[in-house]
Amino acid sequence: MQLEAGVRYFDLRIARKHNDHHPTRLYFYHGLYTSTDVETVLGEIHAWTVAHPKEVIILAFSNFNGFEKNIKDKLHNHLIGFIKTMFGSTLVPPGIPTLQNCWDQGKNVIVSYDYPANYHPEMWKKITYYYANSMDRAQVKSKISEALGKEKTSNYFFVCGLNMTLPADHRILIYILRLCDSFPNVIRRGLPKLLKWLKQQSGVNIVASDLATRKDFVSTVVELNSALMKP
């Protein structure tokens, strides 16, 4: 489980399956639909946060694929209502909280919700996510460098995505992937080099990756954040 591996930020892209007979059942969608629905996964996350009250997590809800105009308000209201009911008093309100504040108040769940029309005081605004939308490591580095320069005076969360993503035209892969290679293998080979480069950067906040459970990923991000707290 990613939580046990040390992951504390979750990029949750929500979707409704077009032909689902259940009117409000939702799934996660990262290129493919998950087989497990959103409410089941949130229940598992909630159980973990109850068992680990001093661990603060961030749940970033976005995309909302399949939220068609005639039903989107109903779906948003249902999802927000479920989140508020599930996590209740453990939701950290927007602001500049400290860990001590969170512990004293018994709060350990930050929810970022990317749909401003449904504003709720418990929800944080969208967390900007910087990524290169490319399989080229140089472009990934360039995008993150740009983000670090732009956000260096920011008092809000931001995400640097160490994600190598498929091109819009998948036929381009014939020029990228070696014979008998695969997209996951390309990502696995690229991450160590990206992590080595990332260790040399400063001002890093949240870092996301498709391989966040890799043993040296979490420790690298923790070290970078610890460096921010040094005088």
Domain CATH code at residue 50? 3.20.20.190
Report the run of H or E that residue 81 belongs to, with start and end.
helix 72-87
End residue of a domain, out of 53, 78, 113 = 113
Residue 119 lies in a domain: no
Burial class (CB in 10 A: 0-12, 13-18, 19+), 7: middle
CA 75 to chain centre: 21
What token pair was written down for 162?
């160490």
d(CA 195, CA 191): 6
Q: Residue 86: which of 149, 135, 44 has the closest Cα?
A: 44
104 and 134 inside one domain: no
50 and 100 inside one domain: yes
d(CA 210, CA 162): 8
pLDDT tens digits along 143-186: 999 888 888 777 889 999 888 776 555 555 554 555 455 556 66
Residue 209 lies in a domain: yes
Report yes or no: 159 and 11 within 8 Å, Cβ to Cβ: yes
d(CA 184, CA 155): 35
73 and 137 inside one domain: no
Q: Tens place of pLDDT for every residue, the chain, 231 residues? A: 789 988 999 999 999 998 889 999 999 998 789 999 999 999 999 999 999 999 999 999 999 999 999 999 999 999 999 999 999 999 999 998 899 999 999 999 999 999 875 578 899 999 999 988 887 888 889 999 988 888 877 788 999 988 877 655 555 555 455 545 555 666 667 788 888 888 888 888 899 987 777 768 888 888 888 887 776
Coil, helix or strand at residue 45: helix
pLDDT at site 211: 77
pLDDT at site 61: 97
Residue 14 lies in a domain: yes
pLDDT at site 179: 47
93 and 179 inside one domain: no
Residue 172 lies in a domain: yes
* pTM of the predicted structure, to 2 decimals: 0.88
44 and 96 inside one domain: yes
End residue of a domain, out of 113, 140, 160 = 113
204 and 107 inside one domain: no
Name the domain count of the chain: 2
pLDDT, mean over the chain? 86
Domain that includes residue 18, residue range: 2-113
Report yes or no: 13 and 65 within 8 Å, Cβ to Cβ: yes
Report the run of H or E that residue 159 belongs to, with start and end.
strand 158-161
Residue 121 lies in a domain: no
Burial class (CB in 10 A: 0-12, 13-18, 19+), 196: exposed
